[in-house]
Amino acid sequence: MSRYVSKRLSRIEAYTPGEQPQDKKYIKLNTNESPYPASPKVVEAVSADAVARLRLYCDPECKKLTQALAGLYGVGEKNIFLSNGSDDILNFAFMAYGESGVAYADITYGFYPVFAELHGITPTVIPLKEDFSLDVEGFKNQNKLVVIANPNAPTGMEISLSDIESIVLSNPNSVVVIDEAYVDFGGTSAIPLTKKYDNLLVCQTYSKSRSMAGARLGYAVGNEALIADLNKIKYSTNPYNVNTLTQLAGVAAVEDNDYYLGNAQKIIATRVYVIGALEQLGFEVLPSKANFIFARSPKISGLELYLKLKERGVLIRHFEKARIKDFNRITIGSQQEMEIFISKVTEILGE
């Protein structure tokens, strides 16, 4: 870093994204992308014509996309916020609602501590219970911004809507953000509760179940006033943060929603296969409602398994954090990819 940088920025430890290696072709099970391509309708929407129109600025209101999502979720257009990936929305939420601090779990999405630091917000870290489930009681009466990934990452575990409702009710003077990046893989969305509570914001993304991680598109659903807050930040930084091609792709994806729900069902079926196969190999696998599983083996360390799989062309995610260093997070790819993964794991354990 340069000697000109602010003290605050020099202290920040930036988020480490999962590897996106360009050296050779891996079976990529490390960043929870979909193994399935975009819908043909999405491919069609991003036409040569649309590319030619890139000379013009995009629609900062994302009108058509807002209408499509409002229709999909049965909410008003003023209840939808769109941005450049849900990371962007989380960043805005920390900026808007973190004045009295923020509460999140010890084992959760690695970006939350980065946003807290970036905005100078004091975090209250609430440890997951012994079995890695969320400590619901711990999140009550915090009276500060509450951020919960549900299903959680990297555990894959979910809390119930009634637990979410009790957390929202017990924090009446602060905002509760539910990050639903993985909800389409068997979870239950809290979106319907946003009609009842004006302090609940639900974020979702096109990056996982909708096969569009590279397009950068996320959305939030909530009370009109919350959406207005987020728009104020967006219009104070970069109103054009969802580009024209991504907006077109986003609308086409909503129009072909069944295709994506079908893919999610395939991933759920493959998840059942992978969990069964790993358990047969002696792994402990946490219950997952996501497109990944979190597993550890008594026979091999998390780091060693990660390294040996990488040598064999399979990438999974290993975290250094003490409490979870025995585990690996494994994205559920296609059935064929996962059969190769299981055969490589079997080979490694047999050595």
Write out the residues near ligand PLP by the rule CB under 6 A. 32, 85-87, 109, 149, 153, 179, 181, 205, 207, 213, 218
User: Are 267 and 185 spatial neighbours (Cβ–Cβ below 8 Å)?
Assistant: yes
Whole-number minimum distance, CB 156 to ligand PLP, in Å?
A: 11
Q: Which is nearer to ligand PLP, 50 or 213 (CB)?
A: 213
Whole-number minimum distance, CB 350 to ligand PLP, in Å?
A: 33
Whole-number minimum distance, CB 31 to ligand PLP, in Å?
A: 8
Whole-number minimum distance, CB 299 to ligand PLP, in Å?
A: 28
For 172, the token pair is 């009446």
Q: Which is nearer to ligand PLP, 179 or 184 (CB)?
A: 179
For 252, the token pair is 């086409």
User: Are 81 and 90 spatial neighbours (Cβ–Cβ below 8 Å)?
Assistant: no
Q: Which is nearer to ligand PLP, 110 or 239 (CB)?
A: 110
Whole-number minimum distance, CB 9 to ligand PLP, in Å?
A: 21
Q: Which is nearer to ligand PLP, 187 or 348 (CB)?
A: 187
Instruction: Select from 174, 165, 167, 159 the least CA-distant residue to 137.
Output: 167
Q: Which residue is nearest to ligand PLP (CB)?
A: 85
Query: What DSSP line would sit under 166-211, residue for residue?
Result: HHHHT-TTS-EEEE-TTGGGT----GGGGGT-TTEEEEEESSSTTS
Number of H helices, E strands in the chain: 12, 12
Q: Which is nearer to ligand PLP, 191 or 348 (CB)?
A: 191
Q: Which is nearer to ligand PLP, 218 or 348 (CB)?
A: 218
Query: What DSSP line would sit under 18-72, residue for residue?
Result: PP---SS--EE-SS---SSPPPHHHHHHS-HHHHHGGGSPP-TT-HHHHHHHHHH
- Enumerate the H helices of 223-334 as residue ranges: 224-237, 244-255, 257-280, 302-311
Q: Are strands 284-285 and 145-149 parallel, antiparallel or unpaired?
A: unpaired
Whole-number minimum distance, CB 132 to ligand PLP, in Å?
A: 15
